[in-house]
Chains A and B, each alone.
Chain A
């Protein structure tokens, strides 16, 4: 029986009882290929980060997962979420939802933060009573 390969990534499975002088090279090649493939997969993992901003009184209150280091109140209807670890690029998605019929905009997304505008139905910057933000993209 000749060497065979695995189903998904075609790693070499040396024929049992054969490859007496080549099995080490074949297995090392498998490990190198596996290392490369794992790196590719981990880089493409979608990392989600979320935060909730509640505005009542003076300073907003926030809840967030460990991916958020802070929220900056930049003015009425204007906030920025700062990430604990900088993203590798700005090609991440960000969505928001406010519970008082507002509109959410994202004027500036960087690797370390995202800015958020919240408007009322007339298009005026307005504080949300509660804003939920979630970002998703590669780290």
Chain B
């Protein structure tokens, strides 16, 4: 099983060091060359990393695994939510802002209201989620990821 090295980077991110497949060095020797001096690190199985990078910024080391921190996951999720809301708003924003002839601004405003309501519901779901899986489900249901 492949090993990787994790440590807390000065940026606050969890860094993951992947040894080159061609290196003849041991995992400890790779750590000596790749981890900043004086920084603690952990050697773990690569298989214990999360399966995707949707919440990469929320990774943290917990024992012999890298897990996703729920509080950070929620922050990232709200970013996805806002980005998706902007995309949904975009066509209606243009109708209203440009006063497009026959653009039916009343209908556009109604559509925007519905988007706001749906977004607020997703926002609540994310805030109330107890697990990363619940956050993910809320975003998937919204079409944001």
Contacts and interface: CB of A to CB of B under 8 A. Distances in A.
Contacts of B25: 69, 84
Residue among A59, A62, A76 with max Cβ neighbours from chain B (10 Å): A59
B22 A58 contact: no
Interface string A57-86: 111111111101111111110100010100
Contact of A72 (B15, B23, B46, B56): B15
Contact of B34 (A59, A61, A63, A72): A72
Contact of B46 (A59, A63, A64): A59
Interface residues of B, number: 26
Nearest to B29: A69
B50 A58 contact: yes
A64 B16 CA distance: 17
Given A74-B9, A74-B11, A74-B15, A68 B20 contact: yes
B42 to A, nearest CB: 14
Give chain A's interface secondary structure class. Answer: strand
A112 interface: yes
Interface string A27-61: 00000000000000000000000010001011111
B133 to A, nearest CB: 16
Nearest 3 interchain pairs by C-beta:
A58-B49, A73-B16, A75-B13
